[in-house]
Amino acid sequence: MSSEYDIVIRGGTVMDGNGGTPFVADVAVKDGKIAAVGPVGGTIAGSGTDEVDARGMSVTPGFVDLHTHYDGQAMWDSHLAPSSWHGVTTVVMGNCGVGFAPVRKDTQDKVVALMEGVEDLPGPCLNEGLDWTWESFAEYLTALERRPHDIDFCALLPHAPMRVYVMGDRAMALEDANQEDIARMREMTADAVRAGAFGFSTSRTIAHKTLAGDHHPGLRAQENELMGIAMGLKDAGAGFIEMTSDWNTPDPATEFAMVRRIMQASGRPLVFSLNQRHDRTEAWKDLLALSTQAAADGLPIRCVAPPRPIGALLGLTGSQNPFAGTRTYRSIAHLPLEQRVAAMRDPEIRRKILADDPKEFNTWSLLSRIGYARMFRFTNPLNYTPAKADSIAAIAAREGRTPEEVAYDMLIDDDGRGFIFTALVNYANYDLEAVKTMYAQQHVIPGLSDGGAHVAFISDASFPTFLFSYWGRDVTDGRMSIPDLVRRQTREPARFAGLLDRGVLAPGMKADINVIDFPNLALERPEMVVDLPAGGRRLMQKARGYVATVKAGQVTYRNGVATGALPGGLVRVPQAG
């Protein structure tokens, strides 16, 4: 006798994505969709081919991450880990205005250099992993569909490759676009959205540059250019704008006024990255106030804000450490780890590295802007909220040593396998009070994980796990409602992006589901693995507590282990009308 359903998840505490009171019920799945959610405290009579015992567990929609960079990985890897290890079933990629289409043969090197510099994806990995069987953005989307995946992904049209495609070297020289350029970009934007792009992304931050120091081509794009591109979204009747900016040219209010004008004229939603910078510690408050007012005025604006410090993990196994730019370290950087550590323990090499200029060959623009007061030993158990007294600067002051000496010794401890945790944003006052204030506003969405990017020194695709384990359970002051956090990680980003078929557990919705043991949800220590094309390295971080993840009606992970099911893939934006 055949089963009535493909899957029945039995007896779990349902948090349906709407933020309301959790309730115990069964959830049934059939043909990739949710077929039934049982009555409160009741059961579903029919059986499932696969029965999942969720008693004592929580059942949520699959998580949606609006800010990732799987643009390359999706081409060569069916598993979009580490995001898929953290309950994420849908991502948006192509953020920050960088990506791989549109592109011609004579612009391929430029877009690779941008992705390498901006998102720390090694050029050799990209050159080996991408087959460049496309030119237009529509052809890129078609190429993405060749491989099945464990999660769904949506692609944004990135500003940089489009600007370079249209303007050539003038784009890299940051020249203003002329009217012909703008008209062409408007047309290409509309075409990309009609082909399935979920919108357009751009960057206006000086931190985004190639390893050679060339700025993001969109850094100084004028309002008429951005307006023209946004009107391309309006022409297509779909898509949102994603923007990253320093918000200081000439001031946040002036640039934000431009954003409002673009949104009002185009009618398209916009999301921007919000975090607390360490050099302008109060600027985020202005942006939060400006966006809160814009939302109150009816503009479809959202902020995406990290739930913890964006953390660079500096170490000898990764791509960055405080001495990576020194002349002497560069001379031994090619050595295997064991030999490199042995060399660094030599007193003469130590003396030379500590005396060298760390900026001479530095390839990480933020290194000179982040001091040792923001660097900490990455402890085990993991601690993403270390005390000021535990900073390298504070340790050095107590011990009468220089911060460089303390950092050097940390790097060679544990045979060079440890990390220095560097809080890049959201930790100016050595607490997460700024995050708590941001999350008090309903238009702020958790995120900015950068999944798929900064692979050899940042491991923030684990943000969803931290969000629930810290803000929903561990923090003593400011604990947040887990059902509301679920809403913010599921329904809210899905609706903003136009993904109206997911994010809520209700009949007829896509069967993207997590079964989670929230009391035991925990992050594991990041590890460096060598599994990228051309032998590239990346940090990977797993989690405990995800009992099962269901994607489009198929169980893709059980207790963190992939089942082999690959029901995900490219999602094209629903077309207007």
CA distances from 289 to 438, 441, 571 (A): 10, 10, 33
Residue linked to tokens 């899957």: 7
SS3 536: strand
Predicted confidence at residue 157, as pLDDT, reads 98
- Radius of gyration of the chain, Cα coordinates, nearest whole angstrom: 24
In contact, 543 and 462? CB cutoff 8 Å? yes
Neighbours of 16 (CB within 10 A): 25
> Residue 239 phi/psi, 5° resolution?
95, 150
Q: For the chain, list residues with pLDDT below 50.
A: 1
CA distances from 235 to 227, 490, 503 (A): 12, 29, 28
Alpha-carbon dihedral sign for residues 431, 434, 435, 437: positive
DSSP state letter for 212: T
Please, which residues have CB within 8 angstroms of residue 221's CB and are 6 or more apart in sequence? 159, 163, 177, 202, 204
CA 362, distance to chain mean position in Å, is: 24
Q: pTM here?
A: 0.96
Predicted confidence at residue 1, as pLDDT, reads 42
* 557: nearest Cα among 91, 69, 79: 79
Q: In what order do the strands lie in the sheet with 152-155?
A: 63-65, 88-93, 152-155
Predicted confidence at residue 3, as pLDDT, reads 82
Predicted confidence at residue 2, as pLDDT, reads 61
pLDDT digits (tens, 9 = 90+) for 14-73: 999 999 999 999 999 999 999 999 987 778 888 999 999 999 999 999 999 999 999 999
pLDDT digits (tens, 9 = 90+) for 419-478: 999 999 999 999 999 999 999 999 999 999 999 998 888 999 999 999 999 999 999 889
Q: Are strands 5-14 and 23-30 parallel, antiparallel or unpaired?
A: antiparallel
Predicted confidence at residue 118, as pLDDT, reads 85
d(CA 475, CA 119): 31
Domains (range + CATH), the chain: 64-310+427-516 (3.20.20.140), 312-423 (no CATH)
Predicted confidence at residue 117, as pLDDT, reads 85
Residue linked to tokens 């043909």: 31
Predicted confidence at residue 213, as pLDDT, reads 84
SS3 507: coil
Q: What share of the chain is helix, strand, coil (3-state, %, to 5)?
A: 35, 20, 45
